[in-house]
Copies of this chain bind each other. A is one copy, B any other.
């Protein structure tokens, strides 16, 4: 019996240690892939080039987007069905879920990580939730479909009204969100039917694309109140010579050197925009109608994917020369590209091949692949530390 007890003590002593060593995992190099068809997130490890788990039961994930908590532990998933899910990347489980509206598009997390906002079509408006509990702390009806929701510095959310052509800035910097309503600044005259918007990485410029007329509208959020400025008058649907298969995404209007790059609407081109004047300074001819034109974090390259039926291809543009320097064909339906935070790799979702491809962005060598079920958006946790992503 004494020997049995001694053995038992050894077992008891060893167990917590083993469990601890097994369960320790840092979160800075994790990410998620949206598996739209199955309503699931695949959890990925960037360093290991591997999937490490799957979390299901997240509802309709068409056009889903994801933001992360500041500790890079929780992914907030915004579903098309109005579902807001909080997924724990460490326990690989759903930590919370609310069905907050009938039809939603996108969301954002405040700079302090305390508030999560969702943009709704039905009913129109923005709802804001406590990031810890998912309890609603503010309801901002707008009487309009709401699009282009982003976070801005100073615990603010910025979003735009499709029907009214207004941009609203909701400032939560004073008091507790559940008690003190946000201060709302309404900026009129944004234009007819804004369909998407972005904020630059420094949180200064908010730019809305227009469906109902040509051009884009820029706001300088350092101005109080911001004065809308129409830019790129020729940009839009109005004069396109080609049918528009898909309105391009405005997300990721990243700075490439001294210029922004923007997918043209309905043309086989990307546009280069001077980052100061916001005027067009050049175009690059591309393989197809661009969907995403994303700058590598250092800005020296821009990677572009394309609308159906040319969506098996990705082109790489060299920023200094504006030339296409590389073309690859990962496979059918390339839907999204995500760079590692310092840009040494890009992960590419190839939906109809059921694969994520991983490329070295300097040699263009394929480094690996990860199986996924109809993957669309890829989101690395490093987004937690960025504004407007």
Contacts and interface: CB of A to CB of B under 8 A. Distances in A.
B153 A342 contact: yes
A279 to B, nearest CB: 15
Task: Please indicate which of the listed interface residues A46, A112, A153, A203 has the most CB atoms of chain B within 10 Å of its own CB.
Answer: A153
B47 A113 contact: yes
Interface stretch (A22-30, A189-197, A229-237): A22-30
B342 A29 contact: no
Nearest to A109: B342
Interface string A241-264: 000000000000001011000000
Chain A, interface size category, equals 35 or more
B387 A71 contact: no
B24 A111 contact: no
Nearest to A387: B342
Interface in A371-386: 381-382, 384-386
Contact of A202 (B70, B299, B387): B299
Interface string A347-389: 0000000000000001100000000000000000110111100
A298 B202 contact: yes
A143 interface: no
Nearest to A23: B20
A15 interface: yes
Contact of A343 (B46, B90, B153): B153
Interface string A190-231: 000000000000111000000000000000001000000000
Nearest to A341: B385
Contacts of A71: 26-30, 47
A179 interface: no
Nearest to A254: B202
A19 interface: yes
Contact of A26 (B16, B73, B154, B387): B73
Nearest to A24: B90
A375 to B, nearest CB: 22
A311 B345 CA distance: 43
Contact of A16 (B18, B72, B203, B341): B18
Nearest to A1: B1
Nearest to A223: B320
B342 A24 contact: no
A344 B91 CA distance: 29
A381 B70 CA distance: 11
A24 to B, nearest CB: 5
A319 to B, nearest CB: 8
A300 B23 contact: no
Nearest to A296: B153
Interface string A136-158: 00000000000000000111000
A47 B70 contact: yes
Contacts of A185: none
B27 A72 contact: yes
A344 B153 contact: yes
A70 B27 CA distance: 9
15 contacts: A19-B23, A24-B91, A26-B73, A28-B70, A28-B71, A28-B72, A28-B73, A47-B113, A70-B340, A112-B345, A153-B298, A202-B257, A204-B298, A222-B300, A222-B320
Given A12-B15, A26-B89, 6 more contacts: A19-B19, A28-B69, A29-B70, A153-B342, A153-B343, A341-B384
